[in-house]
């Protein structure tokens, strides 16, 4: 049978171990919080590297599409990052969307995302082949193929422009009763003069 002195000693050891564990966790958290704040401070000071502009998200000021299912699904949703996205009246045949920016930018890449909700993903015809053209530039259009999934799809462009047009060449469904659509199109780039 354990005596009172042994119980007190055992409780003291358990208490000492608990205090040591708590102090170790607190010191560890303080150390990593300090390291994180130092790295953030350094990052905030790094706005430009040797005169080069930093890559950023670019937001068009205007968009236009061949047609729209209704006002709730206009291409403006793509500009405003509204999860309703853009949907056409019928399938993707002969569909296009044009985006206009407030000035000329160097667009490095574009991110496409199909609808993320299963209900929207299943009820929407997804774009398969797409041609990207720059109406104000005399450059060869870029044709690409998007996947029929919910992943973010990154496409390099590396072109200067103030306007960009997406023309749908084909889709995955092709039935006239299913509207064509996409949830987001996001542009990344920088000031045109910095490239």
Q: What are phi and psi of 6, to 5 degrees?
A: -70, -40
What average pLDDT does the segment 111-125 reach?
A: 92
Tens of pLDDT, residue by residue over 18-50, are: 888 878 887 777 777 777 666 555 554 545 555
Least confident piece of the model among 26-35, 75-84, 143-152, 182-191: 26-35
Dihedral angle computed from the Cα positions of residues 189, 53, 76 and 147, in that order, rounded to the nearest 10 degrees: 20
Residue 44 to residues 38, 41, 126, 134, 183, Cα–Cα distance (Å): 10, 5, 40, 34, 32
Q: The whole model's pTM is what? A: 0.71
Cβ-based neighbour number of residue 15 at 10 Å: 10
- Its CATH class, for the domain covering 56-194, is mainly beta
Stronger pLDDT, 20 or 113, i.e. the higher one: 113
Q: Are 113 and 183 in contact (CB under 8 A)?
A: yes
């Amino acid at each position: 049978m354990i005596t009172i002195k042994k119980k007190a000693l055992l409780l003291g050891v358990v208490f000492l171990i608990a205090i040591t564990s708590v102090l170790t966790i607190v010191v560890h958290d303080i150390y990593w919080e300090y390291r994180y704040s130092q790295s953030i401070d350094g990052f905030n000071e790094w706005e430009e590297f040797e005169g080069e502009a930093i890559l950023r998200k670019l937001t068009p000021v205007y968009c236009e599409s061949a047609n729209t299912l209704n006002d709730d699904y206009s291409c403006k949703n793509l500009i405003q990052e509204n999860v309703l996205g853009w949907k056409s009246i019928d399938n993707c045949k002969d569909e296009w969307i044009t985006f206009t920016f407030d000035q000329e930018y160097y667009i490095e890449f574009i991110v496409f995302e199909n609808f993320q909700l299963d209900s929207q993903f299943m009820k929407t015809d997804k774009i398969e082949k797409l041609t990207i053209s720059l109406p104000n530039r005399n450059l060869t259009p870029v044709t690409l193929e998007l996947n029929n999934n919910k992943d973010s799809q990154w496409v390099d462009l590396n072109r200067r422009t103030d306007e960009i047009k997406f023309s749908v060449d084909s889709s995955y469904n092709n039935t006239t009763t299913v509207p064509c659509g996409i949830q987001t199109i996001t542009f990344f780039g920088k000031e045109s003069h910095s490239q």
